[in-house]
Amino acid sequence: MTRATEAGAGLHAGILAATQSLTHGMIAFAALGTAGVAFGMAAALAASALAGLSIALLGSSRPLMGNTSAATALIAGGLLAALEPSSFGHAIAMAMLLAGAAGLLMLAANRLAGVAALVPTPVAQGLGNAIALLVMIAQAPILLGAAPGEAAPWAAPVPGAMAVAALALLLMLRPLPGLPAPLVALAVASGLHHVLSDAGIATGPVVGIAPTVHTFVAGIAAATAGRPHALHIARVLPAALSLALLATIETMAAAAALREASGRRGDHHSDLRGAALGMLSSAVAGGMPTVGLMVPSMACWRAGGRGRAAQLWRLPVPLAVLLAGGALVAMLPFAALSGVLCGAVLRLIKVPPSPLSRAPGRARRAGDALVVLSVMATALAFGLVAAVGAGMLLAMVIFTASMAASPVRRVSRNPVGRSRIRRPAGQERALRDAGEAIALIALEGAIFFGSAEHALQRAEAERSAGAALLILDLTRVTRLDLSGGRRLIEICRVMPGRVLLAPLHPCSRVAMELEALGLLARLPPAAVFADLPAAVEAAEAIVLSAIEPDERAWPATPRAALEALGVPSSEVGPLLALCTEQHFAAGAPILRRDELADAAYLLLSGEVLISLPSIGARPATRLAVLVPGVLFGESALLGQMRRSADATARSAVRCLRLDAVAVDRLRSEAPQVAWHLMTTVARQLGVQVRAANATIDRLEE
């Protein structure tokens, strides 16, 4: 970012801002005739410079440009036309009062800047589109060849004026690379105007009267000579409120566009404070309202402007036009100015994604399109402020309707295998056979007053369909209101002792929401689990408790354990001769990752924790908990050289150790015994693969 780049970007934005200010001044003061147009353009140039300086010094977003705005000009022009001022000075005084009151309201509401930033994007898009359409409608008479304030010549449009306006519009929409689009459009369109005029073709009026310092000072003097009691203060204040609201929204929208482009977050309060003081400055300078404006701000950014220097470099342009460029402005055709303005606002129109597309999210796109179109229609029928209110109301209605959608993401039966408990193959089969009684209900999104009832209804439906246990997966739940929390408690009461909720650890979103609502302590303690595997483990334990004792118990003697593992009784003797019994106290290491894999182990009693060791700041990761009857470390029998995880005694452990070298001898000395052993290993691996698949399914949901 060089000084030359900053200066070039600032001057580029200044040319665009000055062109916009000239046309905005025409809009605001068109009701006052030719003299009003000249004063309006002069006041707009002065206000543009003052607002730009205020935002450059006080604002936070870079390079946010203070300038006159089409939307606020429409409010000012509408007020002047509606109040029918008694004199030229009276009209300027009312415009100054309007801008001053709006600036004070913006300062008073500065703490609400963050609220203005929360305006939904479809509402902001609809407002921008509505402003563009209103400007186009206001400019229609000039595009057809009329002067400001005159009726549109629908019956007899001026072809030359239309050609000039069309050329200016085209050069704004299709700018020449490396050249300032407004300056090029004005120059080329004005050239066409004079060529057509010399050829005897009607091309519409030119500005004629120059916006000079003398015009500006004379207008301010006429305004200050008016009588304060004739200012219609009671009728000006509602318009000032509308003006302050629109100025706030436009400033926040421009700052948001710069934030999206740069990734740099500005301070909303500083930006709004700068815009408010710019509005007060514009009140002193003739009443042409100003805002932080998106078009020159983004033009400066695209040209390379990144800081305050670019904001300051744009200030001399409107001042130079006011001080020395009046004669050139007087030669400009109104059609060219109007074409430049229409081209600038047309680039603000944003078409929302089509709801007719078959891509996912059609309902959401339809809702956004409905908000945009509603804001535009309301603006055209009732005004911009009413449009913002209507858009916000409709957006809230659509949001509430979306919150009423069912939070049930999916329902599945038999989640056996998703816990971290690894059991013998027989118990795994028994659990899977009985696991259809377990229903896993995965919830997602916000569970509010509109959607919470769906979760309760689904829980009751699963109970009616035969589910004896319900697990509510709350992993993807983002928000919870009082109704949602009460429905969770009610679901627990539907099946007392048979509803399990996870995850509900102290740092989980749902736990924090329930704590804030004062409902966490009202949940049954037996229903609360820190994570989903722990909840599934508890459900499996409940199912196992209903299985006959001889089906769930594991033999304690080595011979009976090998037979239960699937080794025929006739082959147990040779295999048992190769085994040694070992004991480990609770907490003692059995295997360590990266150790030599030299033996497999059959767990006879106790529990073994399989985990990955901690590395640096990463804590140890629990992979599984083994119960009696499970073979572990079996990779040593398959040729693996190093251990892949740690094995630690979770309680007092008794196990059989089977040396890998002895198994290699067994393959040649007693192949039948070795075959039965490897079949057992394969069966064990099958159980682990099913558990891994269940975990993968969980991750892919």
Strand pairing category for 646-649 and 589-591: antiparallel
For every residue of 644-665, DSSP letters joined together read SSEEEESS-EEEEEEEHHHHHH
Structure tokens given for 617 = 């700041």
Q: Which of 643, 566, 646 is nearest to 602 (CA)?
A: 566
Residue 190 resides in a domain: no
Dist. CA 359–CA 357, nearest whole Å: 5
pLDDT of 103 above 60: yes
Q: What is the pLDDT of residue 126?
A: 84
- For residue 614, name the pLDDT band (cuts at 50, 70, 90): confident
- For residue 71, name the pLDDT band (cuts at 50, 70, 90): confident
DSSP H or E run through 579: strand 579-584
How much is the average pLDDT of 118-136?
79
The domain that contains 486 carries what CATH number?
3.30.750.24
From 500, 523, 549, the end of a domain falls on: 549
- For residue 551, name the pLDDT band (cuts at 50, 70, 90): very low
The domain that contains 594 carries what CATH number?
2.60.120.10
Instruction: Among 470-479, 549-558, 583-592, name the one with the lowest average pLDDT.
Output: 549-558
Query: Do 336 and 184 form a contact (C-beta atoms < 8 A)?
Result: no
Residue % of the chain over a pLDDT of 70 = 92
Q: Report the DSSP beta bridge partners of residue 621.
A: 612
In terms of residue numbers, what domain contains 318? Answer: 3-157+209-333
From 523, 549, 575, the end of a domain falls on: 549
Q: What is the pLDDT of residue 700?
A: 47
HSE-CB of 233 using CA atoms within 13 angstroms = 5
> Per mean pLDDT, which of 309-313, 415-419, 622-626, 676-680 is the most reliable?
309-313
How much is the average pLDDT of 228-242?
74
What's the domain count of the chain? Answer: 4
Same domain as 78, residue 28? yes
Same domain as 378, residue 412? no
Q: Which of 380, 430, 375, 463 is nearest to 629 (CA)?
A: 430
Give the list of residues 6+ apart from residue 218 with CB closer than 8 angstroms, or none: 39
Same domain as 424, residue 529? yes
Structure tokens given for 532 = 């989903």
Residue 439 resides in a domain: yes
Q: What is the pLDDT of residue 549?
A: 55
Q: Kindly report, residue by residue over 628-687, the tens digit of the pLDDT.
A: 888 888 888 887 788 889 999 999 999 999 888 888 888 888 888 888 788 878 877 776
pLDDT of 590 above 90: yes
Same domain as 464, residue 437? yes
Dist. CA 208–CA 37, nearest whole Å: 10
Burial 644-669 (b: 16+ CB within 10 A, else e): ebbbbbbeebbbbbbbbebbeebeee
**Three-state DSSP class for 50?**
helix
User: Regarding predicted confidence, which is higher, 450 or 319?
Assistant: 319
Same domain as 365, residue 329? no
Dist. CA 12–CA 308, nearest whole Å: 15
Dist. CA 322–CA 250, nearest whole Å: 25
How much is the average pLDDT of 339-368?
78
- Give the number of residues written for the chain: 701
Q: Using the Cα atoms of residue 486, residue 491, residue 492 and residue 495 in order, give the sign of their dihedral.
A: positive
Residue 594 resides in a domain: yes
Residue 66 resides in a domain: yes
For every residue of 232-300, DSSP letters joined together read -HHHHHHHHHHHHHHHHHHHHHHHHHHHHHH-----HHHHHHHHHHHHHHHHHTTS--EEEEHHHHHHH
Residue 343 resides in a domain: no
**Three-state DSSP class for 608?**
strand
Q: Kindly report, residue by residue over 179-196, the tens digit of the pLDDT.
A: 777 778 888 999 999 899
Q: Kindly report, residue by residue over 419-467, the tens digit of the pLDDT.
A: 778 877 777 777 778 888 899 999 998 888 778 888 888 999 999 998 9
Residue 194 resides in a domain: no
Same domain as 504, residue 423? yes
Residue 686 resides in a domain: yes
Dihedrals φ, ψ of 638, to 5°? -105, 10
Same domain as 67, residue 44? yes
Dist. CA 560–CA 554, nearest whole Å: 9
Helix-helix angle 33-58:3-29, to 10 degrees: 140
How much is the average pLDDT of 524-538?
89
HEC per residue, 104-144: HHHHHCHHHHHHHCCCCHHHHHHHHHHHHHHHHHHHHHHHC
Burial 225-261 (b: 16+ CB within 10 A, else e): ebeeeebbeeebeebbebbbbbbbbbbbbbbbbbeee
Same domain as 426, residue 391? no
Residue 563 resides in a domain: yes
pTM over 0.85: no
Q: What is the pLDDT of residue 693?
A: 66
Instruction: Among 163-177, 325-339, 552-566, name the one with the lowest average pLDDT.
Output: 552-566
pLDDT of 121 above 80: no
From 299, 333, 367, the end of a domain falls on: 333
Dihedrals φ, ψ of 94, to 5°? -65, -40
Same domain as 299, residue 329? yes
Same domain as 607, residue 533? no
pLDDT of 74 above 60: yes
Same domain as 517, residue 375? no
Same domain as 672, residue 570? yes
pLDDT of 246 above 90: no
